[in-house]
Structures are given as C-alpha cells and as structure tokens.
Structure 1
Amino acid sequence: MTTLPPSLQRWFDTRGWQIHPHQREMLERAGEPALLLIAPTGGGKTLAGFLPTLVELGETPPPGLHTLYVSPLKALAADIKRNLRIPVEEAGLNIRIEDRTGDTSSHAKRRQRGDPPHILLTTPESLALLTSYEDAPRMFAGLQRVVVDEIHALAESKRGDQLMLALARLSTLCPGLRRVGLSATVDDPAAIARLLARAPDPCAILTADPGPDPDIRMLVTDQAPPWSGGGAAYAIPAVLAQVRAHKTTLIFHNTRAQAEIFFHNLWLANDDALPIGIHHGSLDRLQREKVEAAMVAGQLRAIVCTGSLDLGIDWGDVDLVIQVGAPKNVKRLVQRIGRANHRYNAPSKALLVPANRFEVVECVAALDAVKAHDLDGEPRGPGPRDVLCQHILIAACAGPFDADALYGEMTTAGAYATLTRPQFDDCLQFCATGGYALRAYDRWQRLLQRPDGLWQLRDPRSAARIRQNIGTIQDTDTLKVRWRGRGGAPLGEIEETFAASLTKGDTFLIGGQIVRYEGLRELVVEVSRDPGKKPKIATFMGTKFATSTQLSARIVKMFQQDIWPDLPPHTAQWLALQRKVSRLPEPGRLLIESFPHDGRQQLVIYGFAGRNAMQTLGLLLTKRMEEMGLAPMGFVATDYATLIWGLDAVIDPAPLFDLDALESGLEGWLAGNAVMKRTFRASATIAGLIERNLGGQRKSGRQATMSSDILYDTLLKYDPDHLLMQITREEAMRGLVDFARIREMAARVGGRIDHVTLDRVSPLAAPLFLEPGRVPVRGSADERLLAEEVARLMDTSGLSDVDTPD
C-alpha cells in the first residue's frame, strides 16, 4: 500500500500538498498489528492514522464498521469528524463518518448500533458502553482498525485502562484487529507501545521529523511577580498588549477558578473591547460550543481556557499561546504550545507568565527542558482493580461469560499483563456477591454461576443500571447553575460544597460573568445578573497539577549555578540573598531551615516532591513531632516546601524522617480520614458498589457521600481487608497523598540532611508565609498555651499564692 489511489492523489494535488514521509510509512506498514506514531503538532498525524482506512475503504466501501477512532475529548472527536469529511467529500469517497459521545442523541445511538457507519469517532466511555450490549459482536463484526488519538493523555489515567480493556474485548470479537496510537508528546515511547499492543504482540514505533523548535520565552512585564499567589494579575497589561499584536491567542491556566479570575480581570482592563471568550469544563455545553464556533470562525482575539483545549483540536488561526502559571509538567507545556501555528514545520509561538516569584524559576527550568526535548512522566504501575471490576460487570451485561476466557482476555491488556488469577478471582467474587461483609445484602448479589460454569447477571434488568454508571471519570459533586426563573438558560456548574456556603445576595464568577445567588430550586442554583466588580469566586475543582519529579530536579540543579543570567534580576538577587544568609537546596540532599518568627518556632523542609506529597509530609511530620513532644501548631505546603510552626525548636530533624515510622503513621492517619473516604467513594463508584445514576436520576453529592461513608465505616469495622478497602489504600497512597513521591524523596536524600539554624526568616521561606491553605494542628501545643494563659491569669489576680482547697 505504497501509493495513493487516484481519487486521494488528486485531492493532494489540488491542494498543492505532498504526502509526508511518516504518512507514507503508515500506509506501507498498515498491516502490522500495532503502530505508534509520534509526530509534531500540525504534522498531519491524524490524517496519517486515517489514510490506510480511506485507501482500504475506497470509493465504494462495503457496509459496516471498518475503523473506530477513540479520543480523550468529545470536542476533539467532533473536530476530527469535521476535518476528516473534507478529504472524503472532496475526493468523492462514499464513506460515512459519525461520532458517538455523551452529546449524541439517543435516536442516533440506536441507529448506529443497527447500521454502523464506516468510521465511528468516540470516547473511552462510549466504547465501553457499546461493548456491554448483546449485539456488540454484530456491530463490530467487520471492524479492521482502531485509532487512539492523543494516547499519552489516556495513558495517564484510568480512562486509558478502561480503553485498553475494551480493546481487549474488541480483539476477541475481531481477530486480526489492528491498533494505531497517535501522539505528539510521549516521554517513554516503549511504555506507550506496551500499553497499546495486544500482549504479547509487538508494537512498532514510528517517529516523524519533529520540525523546528518552538519559539517559547517568558513574557516581559513592567511589574515584578508577587511573592505568592496564582492569579498573575500583575501581567494583565502585558498580556493584553500581546493579544492586540496577534490574530488569536489561547491563554491557558492550570485551574478553572484561576481561569475565571484572570478572564474577569482581563475583561475589566479590556478598554478596546476586544472579543475575548472563556472555555473550561464547568461551563454549560452550549456555552462551550458557542465559544468553539466563534474560534473556528476567527471571531475571537483571545480565549482564556484550561485543559479543555489542551489536545489536538484545530481551532481557527491561533498564532500565540500564553501559559499563565508555572506549567508543572513539560509534556503538558509542549502539548499546549503546539496549539499555536498548527501547521507542519511551522514553529509554535508561546509565552510563559509566572504567577509568583518562585514560579519564575520553574518557568525557566521548563523552558530549558523544552529546548532539550526532555519530556517528563511518572510510571503508573499495574492496572487498577476497580476498573477491572467494572469491566467484569460490563462483560456480564453483554451475556454469559467464561471466567477463564475473560481472565485470558484481560491479561492481553498492557496494564493488566501481570494480573494474577487470584487477583482476578477476588474481583469476580466481589462483582458476584459484594464481598464477605456485604454478601447478605441482595442489592450486591449481581452475578451467579450457572451449572455449565458460565457466569451471568443474576437479574438481567440490572444491566440497565450498570450501563448508566459506566465510566472512570469521577465528577466533582456539582450543581447546575441557571438564570432565575423556570426555563432559565444554563450557565454551567459549581461545586456542591461551594453552593452550600452561599446565602442569598452572595455574588460569584461563572463564565466570566458576575452573578447573584438567589436560591436553590430542585437542586439547581438560581442566579441573577449583578453589576458589581468584586465577586466571590466559585471554587471549581478542576485539575490540580503537581510539579513533576523531573522538573523539580531541574529546578534544584539550577540552584547550583554561580550566577543566573537566564533569570530576571529580581529573582536572581533573591536566590543570591538566600545563598548568602542560608543555603540553597542541593541534589541528593535535603535542606531544612529552623528559625523563630512571630513568637513561634518555624521549620521549613525543602523536599521538592509536589504539592500532594508535601501536604502529606506536613501531616506526617506534625504527627511525629507530637509523638516526640515538640508541640507543632500547624503547617502549610507548596510544590517545593513544607512550613511547620510550633512552640519548640527542632534541634535534630533527622529522627523525624524515619520512613518506616512515617509510613506507619500514614496508615493510622488514613484509616479514619476524609481523604480515605473520598478515595473509597471514587473507587466504589468505579467498581460498581455505589451507583451515582439510578433510573435516569442522579444522586446528589451529599446522598452519594452519605451512602459511601456508611459503607466505608462498615467495612473498616467488620471487613478491613475487603477488596475495596485494599483498592482504596492503594489509590490513596499513589493518588491523593502521593506517598510514592515521599519514598522517592527519601531514597534520593538517603539521610543526607543539611540543617541550617537561622535567627530570622530566610528569603526562600518568605513566600511560604503568604500561602493560603494553612492547616492547624490540635494537640499538646494548645494544652501548653492554655496552661500558660491560666497560670498568667492566676498570677495577675494573686490567686497563685492561695492554697488550693482539698
């Protein structure tokens, strides 16, 4: 398959294009079982993935599904459908292309199952749902190829695990099915290839010419960044100047709340009334689609956005990307800057805007990593078992299954290649009975084994309930927001906990608008317009990124320079002063500072392990300090350091860092903690123990939390080794508390601690005192302070000389 058919060749010629070398190689190697293509943004990798399909289908394709395309985003699937239709229609190919996502109508979904298109574009969740139907073998009977786009994004989450299990099912239904993975940003190609391939099949890796390096630098501003904070309001004038100088600018933020704040401030300063939009996952779908349509039409000069526009969507004529806040991850930064000049061999143009003084250092480190083509990534480990439980239930919905065959099928999925049979059997028994402590309850008796050995649903009617709850994305507990009055237009969603804090008259930001809270009607937040300029801010959950291990290592390495010519003078002088009055962190060592401040003894640990891990370290160290009688009073954490304050100075910090003691303390702390319950709720929902959707109605977050908390407390008391409790501990350790990063830090340091005692706050520690999210510690410090206050009062009143009566 080395030459294009005449119809496609004429289409290339009409456009004045030549087929790229990597596109031709994809054609030549189209018969291989698995191919991973790594090509730069704008390099035509999506067309490369589809060219073999267009050639194989030809001008008069046979009916039935030939190629399945899987995307991480619904918007990306819709965008690919629009772009793919261009060569199909202009080349005169009679090929049906449709998408199937959560936004597709139920009528269209039913028709697609009965009469599937030649090319179907979908998401992991929709594919998992399709495999759950009894007619799946008929629908997928002619499937030849699967194209997984932006595979790096799926590989980093449970959605990727869910997808690979679904592909294992498809490979059973369609022997000879070929798999193609596409990405522009892969840090470990061999690992992604292992994930994509059907074990033990090989996966070839094709790497295209990466093209020119991006034009990326830090935005120069008249005002220096603040010591702390994440809003980057200081940079608004400079950002607006860049927007005026370019056609279309994407302004990325790491969280939805920061995007809302920045958009609001940008709009207040937008004296030229430039058309600027906002786009993030908490906005109503119609509002997002309106912004997307305006982008494609070239009607917007700038779009303030989050990860909702990270991936390979070709939005209009974007010629500049601005990243506000440190990128935290080099791979994510490369992906985002690739949105600008989305053309082959055209350099992307991007500017970084650090939100505070420390982020200046992180941004320079990220720039160096991009120039060195040094992408970062974290190993994920074996496939999670809550996803495996869901897949067993999906298999049961499709009809009776043989346990041996299903186990064999699952172990062909890369992340589950090391799954043992006892682990599989534990998951099967959980799906069948709910586990030892729950087997007496009918609601969790879901599977039974027939006399012939096959497993099936105990009640076929439960298939509908299982299908309603398929998926691994755990929504934040949110409430819809609408304009006041019945039939009011939707605006988006806010967190349920934030809504609970509102009283009538409170104002907050959503979609760039200031709205006034009027009340709650049928679990919908009703609002009206408000002319004010200082709103309360909706606490959108969004995604909270932690600085990657590799980027943290680059930052510490930067500290070892004699001078810092790449840093702005204000930041270089700050680091020089730190070196003069204390010292800077060094690779393979742990810097700890002790000093008095504001009447308390301060301890700062520069661990560079990421925010989750440093937060966990604060919890564990204060617990250890309590045990050692050091009276801690509270702590605050950032990506790079933890600050602890208390009544007593720490003379020797080494005993605090006994890893076994820390881990033991973590187990005890987690058992009754809200973090553990939150993790349990997520895993129990994925595994099918808790249903968020029931009969078309969605439980409120409060209802789901209450039922999951009761279950957790029951299992903790009566069956602490229940499968879901095991899964919860695993997930908490590697997710919310990120203890693996603490282990990595301990291994990296190896007991080499530099303890510096100072008489005042060090320059590097100063920003920590401005950080929000301070966590108080209730313990011996409170008792001592109370005793001292009582003694002082008794002394001033003269009561201390009076004998205490018997």
Structure 2
Amino acid sequence: MTVKPRLTAEDLLPEPFTRWFAAKGWAPRAHQLELLGQARAGRSMLLIAPTGAGKTLAGFLPSLTELAGRPKRRPGERHRGVHTLYISPLKALAVDIERNLGKPVEEIGLPISIETRTGDTPAHKRQRQKLAPPDILLTTPEQLALLIGSNGADRFFEDLRYIVLDELHSLVTSKRGHLLALGLARLRSFVPDLTAIGLSATVAEPDDLRRWLVPQGPLPSPLRGGSASALSEAKGERRGGGIVAPTIPTPTPALRADLPGRATRLARPADPLKGEGKAAIHPPMAGLITVAGGAKPDISILESRERVPWSGHSARYAIPEVYEAIRQHRMTLLFVNTRSQAEMLFQELWRANEDALPIALHHGSLEVGQRRRVEKAMADNALRAIVATSTLDLGIDWGDVDLVVHVGAPKGASRLAQRIGRANHRMDEPSKAILIPANRFEVLECRAALDANYLGAQDTPPLLSGTLDVLAQHVLGSACAAPFDANQLYAEIRTAAPYAELPRDTFDRVVDFVATGGYALKSYERYARIRQTKEGLWRVTHPRVAQQYRLNIGTIVEMPELNVRYVRQGRGMAGRGGPVLGKVEEYFAETLRPGDNFLFAGKILRFEGIRENECIVSNGTGADLIVPSYAGGKFPLSTYLAEQVRAMLADPKRWQNLPEQVAEWLAMQKLRSVLPKKGDMLVETFPKGNRHYMVCYPFEGRLAHQTLGMLLTRRLERANARPLGFVATDYSLAVWALDDMGALFKAKTPSLAELFDEDMLGDDLDAWLNDSWMLKRTFRNCAVIAGLIEKRYPGQEKTGRQVTVSADLIYDVLRSHEPDHILLQATRADAATGLLDVSRLGLLLSRVRGRIVHKVLDRISPLAVPVMLEIGKESVNGGANESLLMEAADLVEEAMGPQ
C-alpha cells in the first residue's frame, strides 16, 4: 500500500528553502521530508538510501531549517555551543561534506558557520573552535573522544541538537564504532533529548544500526551538575540563547520511499525516551526510512585478450586495457585493496601513459598536503584517473567520475556497491564499473560479486560486543574531563549498544585496571592513572595523565612508521631539510639496504638509510623495484561471496558466464580430480618432487585458512607426518610434508574426520597461541588502545621497537602472574575475531563435518596450481626453507597437460 506523507514541503521547509529548491528546478524528495519531520519531532532515525538519493541533504535539513530561524547572537552574548555534529569515518569525507554543504548554505543565504575538525586540522584552529564553536562541526570519532574528554565538555555540547552519522555501516563494525558509541552515550548524558540521524547506503541488518542509534535502557543521571539546567529542558522549549524550536504537526510513521516521491508505510519508529511502539517490548530502536529505486549499475568483468594469471594480485596483464578504458572516459577512479597495490598500479599506468594523461595517487600513507592536492584536482575535474584505496570509497562526491575500475576482487558485495557508487553519484543514472580479476579464483569471486550487486545482496560485517581496551580508554577519558561516579558512568555506558550487556564486575575490573594497572602491576606508580576521592569520585592522579591521554587517543594502532624524507641525489644520509613524502612501515624500511630502489608516492626512490624516525631517500632508478608492504592491508573474503563461489564451482551451468580460459580450467579440474558440491570440502593429496602435499579448498578467507594451517601442522606433527610448512590464500590451503599424507589418511592414522575435528579449537588452539607471536602482537595493540603503553609523549614519540619491547615485557609478566588480567582477556577476544578469525573457522569445521571429499592424485590438480604458486613467496620454517619454489610453466603443464 502506498501513501503520501501528510507533511508537505510547505509544512516543513521555511520559505527560503522552498524558493531555493524551485530555483534549482528540484523538489524535496519524500524521504527528505519524512526524515525532516521525524527528526524535528525528536525521533532518532536511520535513513538507508542508494547513492545519489540526497542522503547528505536529508541528514542536514533538520539542522539547516532550525538554524535558519535562530536569532543572531547579540553583541556581548556568550558564544553558542555546537548545534550539530557530523561524524564521518574518513577525514576526506568530512572535507568533501564541508565543500558540498557550504554551497546550499551560501545560495540560500543562511547565517550558518560550518567547520571541519580532524587530525589534519591545525592545533590553533582546534583550540579556537573550543572557545567559539561553529554551528555545524564536521569531525571524526577520535576528535569527538578528545572533545568529550576535555574539561568543560558539558558546556561545549549543551546546545547540541543533532548528531549526523554518515556511512554508519562503516563506523559501527570496528573498535572505532565502540569508541563512537561510548561518545554518543556521553553526549546523551549532557543532552538527553539529542536526536541521532544515521545515514547509510549498504546495510545487511538495519535493526542492528537502529538499536545502535538510540540508548539501550533508561538514561542515567548526568555525571556532573554543571549542565543540569540545560539537561532538564524539554524538547521544543527554550534552547541555547533564546532559540525556540518550531512547532510542527506530528509526523507520519517511518516510510519506505520510492521514486518519484511515493512512500510505503513501515513499522512505527519507537521513541527510545518514552518506550513507544516496539520499544515497550523489544530493545529500543530508531525509526527507519528505506529508499527504494535508483538505476541499476552497469558492471562488467574485463574479458582480457591476455591469459588471466593463475595467482598473484597485481593484474599487470590488464594494464593496456585499463589504460584504454581511462582514455575513453572523462574521469576514472581505480580502486585497489592495499596501499602496495596502489603504488604498483600507479607506476604501471604511468609506464603505459603515452598521452601524458593526468593520473594521481591517493592512499592513507601519503603526506596530507599531497592528498589534499589530489582531492582539489578531483573537485576541479583536472584529473583523468585516480588510483585509490579505501580512503575514497565512502560517500565522496568529487569531480565528474564516470567510471570505476576495481582492480582485484572486492572481497565483499557491499564494498563493491559502495565503491561503484562513486561513478556518476546520481540516483537516476547508472554507475559504470569494470572489475579486473587479478587471478583465476578472483574471476569467480568477481562474478559472484557482480551477481550479488544486481540482486541487491548485502554482506556488511555483523556488529560485535564492545571491547574492553576501548572501554578502558573511555573510562580514563571520563576522568580527564571531570571526576566521575562509577555507578553513574556504568549506567551511562550500558546505554551504548555495544556495551548494553556489560556485566558490572567486568566494568569494575576495567576501572581497577585504569586505577592500578591490575594486580600484577599495581606496585608500579606509573600505572596508577586515576584514584578515588573521599567523596567516592574517580579523578586523574596528575594533570600529565590527561595530557598523555589526549596525545594517545584513538583505536587505530598503525604499525610503527617512519617519515619518508626526500634528499637530493648524492647527498646520502648527510642530506637534510627535504620534503616529507609520507610514511612507510618501520619493518619494511628495516628490510632495505642502502641503494635499494622502491616505489612510494608514485615515485621511484633510492633508500639511503634510517635516521631516528625517518627513512631517508633520494631519486632512484627503475631497476629491481620493491613495493612497500603494509600489514593488515587485505580485506577478508566475505562469507556471502565465499558461499557463492562454492556454489559456482559446483554448478557447470554457471560457467558459461565465465571467460573461456577459466571455464576450461574448471572443466579440466572436473576431469583430472573432482569439483566439490556446494556443501562439501575437497581435500587433494599428491606427491611433487621429494615432498607430499595436501591441498584443501574451504573458501573461508585467508585469516581462517592461516589459523587452520597452523593447527593442522601441529596435528600432523603428532601423527609423525613430518610437516614442513603451509601457505594459505582466500580460497585454499596447502600443507607439505616429508611423509605421504594421502596414505596416512587412507589408513586413518589419522583420518580426515579426526584431522579436521572441531576440538582443534580447544587445547590445540590454546597451546599454539601460548607459543605464538600473534598474541604478543595483539596484546601490543590492546595495551596501546587501553593506555597501558603510551606511544606519544610531549615533543617526542616512542619508536616501534620501544613500544614492542615494552609490550612484550608486560605481556610476559601478566601471563606469569595474572593470566586472567583484563587486557589478556581483551587480547584473546581480539585474536579470535581478528588475526585468527576463530568464529569463522569454527563455522567451517562444523559445516564440513561428514562432508570432506578426499581425492588421492598422482600429480598436481588444476585447482591446486594457484596456491602452489604461492609457495616460496612467503617465509616458512624448517625444511621448507629449501628450494621449494617451482616454475609456473612446469606446474601448469603438469596440471593441464596430457594425462
């Protein structure tokens, strides 16, 4: 059933706004008006709409219309606080919104100030903003944490009316989302009637986000009394210096809006403060508006004239065709999944750039000035192509991008939808995209992602429970702002969705950790950061604790990095004063020798050496180039795409949509070995040289496969198979050994069912973790986030080595003397969901129980060639350090040649 919204543009929009719409030849869309009405009535809302549907304008209309009617500040009157906060996951997105929002504000003639506040904002400007805040502040989760952790935060935010959370799906699925959820809970303690507006284009489970937007349970009493008068004001009453919110009719229920301007009724949004609607029975949820319609994207997979590689991630084979596509379009945005891929692709395109087209590079390790220059050139339509990572894949609307090229598989259907939406960026025009698979398995993944996009399938990651290291950071930040009462803080934290189920004893342990460092560390005064007063309030032990907290805030723990400092050729380490080109990770720089040439910032650089926290470079040459590697750069393969790839393998009818050479490869696999059914897992065993190999095909992503490989080799050692090493890809896992594993499995010593039994996630996992460097690496990150180890000090910064040594020492102490320490608990939880992907591995082992298909072969199978080619590209231990790298041509000939 379709209905028209009861509230029209004339009801909701002041006359200057309707005049502006008319002058543009536009009309407000149904979802924009509905969101305006709901938000003005004080209801938090989630708007899900496709690219180009006007989400940003919809999110800001409540703020703009309310600010338009606000009287000017009189001379001598105090500066008003921030009226609207806009939170973005990306610095670049905040800058883009400032530019795009400023245009209608100027054209309508609104007396509204809009400013950004990110890590790139100069310190003097950030200080000025605290004294004279803008009406609308565009910022990031980290900057919000800094603001609420400052003295006087309650006064700074006492006039806050709206918080707009853009690309919400991207914000909430990580530790940044946990920090932001705690920040939102704090804002509600200052301003209980705060209205939250979530904007998103790709959401798999909208109800998760709807719960995230509103307090889960009753709001606690304010933590401080300083803003009690402001907090007690009801909606629609006097606010911030004589502002009266306009009275409007009761809005309609949430709508599903279709083009052009029609809407379908959805469930009534619950008022989280009154327990209306579903909130009386179910967890409180924000209202929901879902916009349907929009042009279907035009996506194709490159049908290259060249042979698709068996393995690798560079896609060099397709460079001529990619360059030709750039020539045929006005502006092309080329996405890759890692920074090293970006550097490599950029260099290859410049080699092919016979027409000297303006092509730029954009990724997070580049110096901020260079990034801003690229962004300005995009906005001015001065570029023909931009090679980028995830720094530009959210909501950016720069320039006249008419083609997106995705080099490599997207690893997720939602991520692909997000990225291809950057082309045309209009709802009524199709986005055009070309997918460039880097290897044969990626052809299957690209096909699955393309099909998913046309079906509208979403696979955004699920929300996780709040982590304890982030909670510890927030507890310390609360004390840095002002003394807090533990009961009130606990009640406040429980209103944040990720922490709604937080047990009181766990919270008390976190407070004790912040106060003492925990039982094993409480004798060290340096770990005593807060203490309890006679009145029972918790406060910081010394002003320098607050200073240190503000220097080290945030949840993004980058690997130790060095500034890349350019000097003139021939000056070597003696050169000084050159420009900084960006940052490379410390461990990569330490692998270089003076004279090595590597790619960075689109240049060929010669490594001269390391001086303090700088990597000194000069102009290099094109010989033997090395590409910087960045830890954790690869996205995990989504569960949805993995399932679709398995289904495609099992259904020969779907091969007709694949390139001929890939279909031929699968047909040959079916002839030489077997293709597993959708629910089965194939395990192949075969000899090669003086080694024996086992290759299995779980299709569950690199992280789960790496953990599986580590656990399988332990079990094979106990079975005396003498394993030498393993290598994992997103699709398969290869283990090699001195003994014939196929014969062992046939003799059931052990059987494959025993080898892949789910009990490996018990004692085997614990034993391996206790001997592994991975927990130390994870502990290091948790310790930095929780503030136990501080990376930055006033005027100086610890090197990566210093941070790692400190973390390793503390880790060893805690393991020996307090194994249940709150940070070790956080570390294990992190490892299980991050580096190890234990939950996904558990689902895999459960899925394949009783469905393992074993094929004994006398030589390598066609399906095994890609993972076998990876052997030798990664360092492995033991006998596998021998010469195990095989020539690709020999492997392919053996797998695909005559029987």
Question: What is the one-letter code of the residue matched to 2:385?
Answer: A
Distance of 1:542 and 1:428 partners within structure 2: 31
Which residue does 1:342 correspond to in 2?
425
Indicate conservation of the 8 Å contact 2:337/2:408, yes or no: yes
For each residue in 1:702-751, what CA deviation from the matched residue of structure 2 results, as whole angstroms up to 9, or x when unmatched? 11111111111111112111111111111111110111111010121223
Distance of 1:178 and 1:513 partners within structure 2: 47
Distance of 1:434 and 1:562 partners within structure 2: 59
Question: What is the one-letter code of the residue matched to 2:426?
Answer: R
Counterpart check, 1:571 vs 2:662: yes
1:133 to 133, 150, 153: 150
Which residue does 1:441 correspond to in 2?
524
Which residue does 1:786 correspond to in 2?
none
SS at match of 1:559: helix
For each residue in 1:34-54, what CA deviation from the matched residue of structure 2 results, as whole angstroms up to 9, or x when unmatched? 100011111110010000111
1:507 to 586, 597, 602: 597
1:173 to 175, 185, 190: 190
SS at match of 1:299: coil
Which residue does 1:778 correspond to in 2?
878
1:79 to 96, 99, 104: 96
Question: What is the one-letter code of the residue matched to 2:296?
Answer: D
Distance of 2:538 and 2:740 partners within structure 1: 63
1:658 to 757, 770, 775: 757
Kindly state the Cα deviation for residue 543 of structure 1 after the two structures are TM-superposed: 2.2
Residues matched between the structures, number? 782
Kindly state the Cα deviation for residue 542 of structure 1 after the two structures are TM-superposed: 5.7
Kindly state the Cα deviation for residue 231 of structure 1 after the two structures are TM-superposed: 0.3
Counterpart check, 1:525 vs 2:615: yes
Distance of 2:516 and 2:850 partners within structure 1: 47
Kindly state the Cα deviation for residue 629 of structure 1 after the two structures are TM-superposed: 1.0
Taking the TM superposition and a 5 Å limit, the aligned residue runs for 1:454-473 are 454-473=537-556
Which stretch shifts more, 157-166 or 25-34?
25-34
For each residue in 1:731-778, what CA deviation from the matched residue of structure 2 results, as whole angstroms up to 9, or x when unmatched? 111110111111010121223211111111111011111115445353
Kindly state the Cα deviation for residue 622 of structure 1 after the two structures are TM-superposed: 0.4
Indicate conservation of the 8 Å contact 2:303/2:659, yes or no: no
1:558 to 648, 651, 656: 648
Which residue does 1:803 correspond to in 2?
none
1:15 to 24, 32, 37: 24
Taking the TM superposition and a 5 Å limit, the aligned residue runs for 1:535-684 are 535-541=625-631, 543-563=633-653, 564-650=655-741, 651=745, 652-684=751-783
Kindly state the Cα deviation for residue 209 of structure 1 after the two structures are TM-superposed: 2.3
SS at match of 1:765: helix
Distance of 1:358 and 1:663 partners within structure 2: 32
Which residue does 2:813 correspond to in 1?
714
Kindly state the Cα deviation for residue 186 of structure 1 after the two structures are TM-superposed: 0.8
1:369 to 444, 447, 452: 452
For each residue in 1:43-82, what CA deviation from the matched residue of structure 2 results, as whole angstroms up to 9, or x when unmatched? 1100100001111111545633111100011111111111
Distance of 1:86 and 1:310 partners within structure 2: 23
For each residue in 1:306-337, what CA deviation from the matched residue of structure 2 results, as whole angstroms up to 9, or x when unmatched? 10111111110000000000111111110000
Distance of 1:631 and 1:64 partners within structure 2: 68
Which residue does 1:804 correspond to in 2?
none
- The 1:714/1:299 distance shift into structure 2, 3 A limit, reads same
SS at match of 1:75: helix
Distance of 2:210 and 2:675 partners within structure 1: 40
1:274 to 357, 361, 386: 357
For each residue in 1:130-161, what CA deviation from the matched residue of structure 2 results, as whole angstroms up to 9, or x when unmatched? 00111101110110110000111111211011
For each residue in 1:674-721, what CA deviation from the matched residue of structure 2 results, as whole angstroms up to 9, or x when unmatched? 211110000011111010111232211111111111111111112111
Indicate conservation of the 8 Å contact 2:604/2:620, yes or no: yes
Distance of 1:281 and 1:752 partners within structure 2: 43
Which stretch shifts more, 239-248 or 555-564?
555-564
Distance of 1:541 and 1:593 partners within structure 2: 31
* Ranges in structure 2 where 5+ consecutive residues have no aligned partner: 1-6, 73-79, 218-271, 273-284, 568-574, 746-750, 883-899
Question: What is the one-letter code of the residue matched to 1:204?
Answer: G
1:26 to 35, 46, 50: 35
Distance of 2:67 and 2:851 partners within structure 1: 63
1:142 to 129, 136, 159: 159
Which stretch shifts more, 447-456 or 469-478?
447-456
Which residue does 2:52 correspond to in 1?
42
Indicate conservation of the 8 Å contact 1:508/1:537, yes or no: yes
2:490 to 403, 407, 410: 407
Kindly state the Cα deviation for residue 672 of structure 1 after the two structures are TM-superposed: 3.2
Distance of 1:661 and 1:8 partners within structure 2: 63
Two-structure CA RMSD over aligned residues (Å):
1.5
SS at match of 1:341: coil
1:420 to 496, 503, 507: 503
Which residue does 2:12 correspond to in 1?
3
Which residue does 1:796 correspond to in 2?
none
Distance of 1:695 and 1:147 partners within structure 2: 33
Which stretch shifts more, 193-202 or 729-738?
193-202
For each residue in 1:155-207, what CA deviation from the matched residue of structure 2 results, as whole angstroms up to 9, or x when unmatched? 12110110010010000001100001001111111111112222142311110
SS at match of 1:333: helix
For each residue in 1:91-137, what CA deviation from the matched residue of structure 2 results, as whole angstroms up to 9, or x when unmatched? 11101111111111222111211121111110000000000111101
Question: What is the one-letter code of the residue matched to 1:16?
Answer: G
Question: What is the one-letter code of the residue matched to 2:676?
Answer: P
Indicate conservation of the 8 Å contact 1:635/1:775, yes or no: no
Question: What is the one-letter code of the residue matched to 1:763?
Answer: P
Question: What is the one-letter code of the residue matched to 2:588?
Answer: F
Which stretch shifts more, 435-444 or 690-699?
690-699
* Ranges in structure 1 where 5+ consecutive residues have no aligned partner: 784-806
Which residue does 2:895 correspond to in 1?
none
- The 1:401/1:273 distance shift into structure 2, 3 A limit, reads same
Indicate conservation of the 8 Å contact 2:753/2:849, yes or no: no
Indicate conservation of the 8 Å contact 2:85/2:138, yes or no: yes
Distance of 2:492 and 2:464 partners within structure 1: 19
Distance of 2:714 and 2:761 partners within structure 1: 9
Indicate conservation of the 8 Å contact 2:441/2:731, yes or no: no
Which residue does 1:793 correspond to in 2?
none
Indicate conservation of the 8 Å contact 2:403/2:423, yes or no: yes
Counterpart check, 1:185 vs 2:202: yes
Question: What is the one-letter code of the residue matched to 2:457?
Answer: D
For each residue in 1:448-498, what CA deviation from the matched residue of structure 2 results, as whole angstroms up to 9, or x when unmatched? 112221111122331111111110011121100011132211111111011
Distance of 2:840 and 2:636 partners within structure 1: 11
1:741 to 825, 840, 844: 840
Question: What is the one-letter code of the residue matched to 2:404?
Answer: V
TM-score of the superposition, structure 2-length normalised? 0.85
Question: What is the one-letter code of the residue matched to 1:36?
Answer: L
Question: What is the one-letter code of the residue matched to 2:816?
Answer: K
Distance of 1:378 and 1:466 partners within structure 2: 30
Taking the TM superposition and a 5 Å limit, the aligned residue runs for 1:53-72 are 53-61=63-71, 63-72=80-89
Which stretch shifts more, 299-308 or 542-551?
542-551
Counterpart check, 1:224 vs 2:307: yes
Question: What is the one-letter code of the residue matched to 1:623?
Answer: R
Which stretch shifts more, 325-334 or 498-507?
498-507
For each residue in 1:497-517, what CA deviation from the matched residue of structure 2 results, as whole angstroms up to 9, or x when unmatched? 111122221110001110111
Question: What is the one-letter code of the residue matched to 2:705?
Answer: M
Kindly state the Cα deviation for residue 599 of structure 1 after the two structures are TM-superposed: 2.0
Indicate conservation of the 8 Å contact 2:81/2:155, yes or no: no
Question: What is the one-letter code of the residue matched to 2:707?
Answer: T
Distance of 1:460 and 1:522 partners within structure 2: 29
TM-score of the superposition, structure 1-length normalised? 0.95
SS at match of 1:259: helix
Indicate conservation of the 8 Å contact 1:59/1:92, yes or no: no
